Amino acid sequence: MKKTLFKGLILSSLILNSLPSHAVSFDRSYSASRYNEKGTTVTVMRATNNHFCFVSRVSLRDIDSVNEMGSCEAVRSGSNWKLKATLEQIENTDADVVCGAICYNL
């Protein structure tokens, strides 16, 4: 009984050690911003095949009317992740948007 248990533990250990272990690890952070002007600022981040990126920070300033809107997005575009900071407004005003993103290695 003890030999069978011991052999089972050794076999399990060998099987588990032969499997690849993929730890997710921090890669780096990114930012994109837009100040006082309608449009989108794009920052190209890491490759989508071996990284995962997400929005980690959104800062909006002076968005104080129904005619002003700001947003942050982390999107897959082609083979890369992209961070987009967008200001949508009727006229150029004093609105600002600052976006941050974090990418992890897969």
Compute the distance between CA of residue 61 and CA of residue 95 in angstroms, rounded to an integer: 6
Confidence of residue 22 (pLDDT cuts 50, 70, 90): low
Structural domain contains residue 58: yes
**Is residue 56 situated within a structural domain?**
yes
In a domain, 47, yes or no: yes
Residue 81 covered by a domain? yes
Q: Give 24 or 20, the one with higher predicted confidence.
A: 24
Q: How far is CA 78 from CA 9, 55, 65, 81, 94, in A?
A: 46, 18, 35, 8, 33
Cβ distance 27 to 103 under 8 Å?
yes
**The residue type at 14:** L
Report whether pLDDT(61) > 50. yes
Flag whether 2 is in a domain: no
* pTM over the 0.85 mark: no
14 in any annotated domain: no
Number of domains, the chain: 1
Residue-range definition of the domain harbouring residue 52? 22-105
In a domain, 9, yes or no: no
